[in-house]
Amino acid sequence: MLARKPSDFGEIYSAYAAGCLDPAFQLLVETQAALRPDVRQAVAQAETIAGVFLETEAATAVSDGVLDQLLSRIDGLDQTANEHTRAAERAGDILDEILRLPAPLRDQALEASMDRSWTKLAPGVSRLNLGVESSTEVELYRIEPGRTLPRHSHRGNELTLVVAGGFEDGTGHFRAGDLSVKGPQDVHQPTADSDSICFALAVRDAGLEFKGVFGLVQKMLRR
């Protein structure tokens, strides 16, 4: 299911304007608003009704100290004992990529990267727990060009915002600013576009259920 119209999320924008939206969805709204003018307009209209004005364009400075800490603590992907140089170069690349993300998500990702490592999910696919104080799961996915997530379903509902690049999953082609909405009945396997790295922000109220070999491993780990 592809939701492209801001009107589909009027209740979420209204809750955001009223200041009573869960922090996970607040991050989702602010990031999408930074990417799409039509969403900014919808949120601004909701805030006008609530008497609060949206300021999505305000840039926030990142201190040199934060960047230095992050450079020293980001884990290089596919790191082995004999690949320290390559890992350091990859850490710098990931930092550059994060700094190009929209400000609301960029700051959260920088902070999260200092506290925890990116987790490799599949070849060319990594995810970062953003540590948002919420009852939902909030993760940032990094998918290299042409790489594919393991085929999976959902134990609950999931909203995935494409932040950079794009992916196709058999139900549609999602580009930067698009939201993919999935429920327990949906099974899909996102594949990143071949021309760029895809970053996607996922907010879900329950975990993923992997299929095939990944599903077997998942079941074994639960025992």
CB 90 within 8 A of CB 67: no
Q: Which of 151, 101, 111, 148 is nearest to 131 (CA)?
A: 111
Look at 54-58, 85-89, 98-102, 165-169 and tell me which has the smallest mean pLDDT.
Answer: 54-58
**What residues have CB less than 8 Å from 156, skipping those under 6 apart?**
183, 184, 204, 205, 206, 207
Same domain for 91 and 174? yes
Same domain for 45 and 68? no
C-alpha separations of 145 from 56, 64, 125 in Å: 29, 30, 10
Same domain for 98 and 138? yes
Same domain for 105 and 184? yes
Residue 51 — very low, low, confident or very high, per pLDDT cuts 50/70/90? Answer: low
Total domains in the chain come to 2
Distance CA 203, CA 132 (A): 10
C-alpha separations of 102 from 29, 33, 86, 87, 200 in Å: 12, 9, 27, 25, 12
pLDDT of residue 201: 97
- Is pLDDT of 62 > 70? no
Asked if residue 55 belongs to a domain, the reply is no
- Is pLDDT of 176 > 60? yes
The domain in which residue 15 lies consists of 2-50
Asked if residue 44 belongs to a domain, the reply is yes
Same domain for 73 and 33? no
Same domain for 88 and 188? yes
CATH number at 87 reads 2.60.120.10
- Is pLDDT of 208 > 70? yes
Q: At what angle do helices 84-99 and 103-115 cross, to 10 degrees?
A: 150
Same domain for 29 and 113? no
Look at 126-140, 179-193, 208-222 and tell me which has the smallest mean pLDDT.
Answer: 208-222
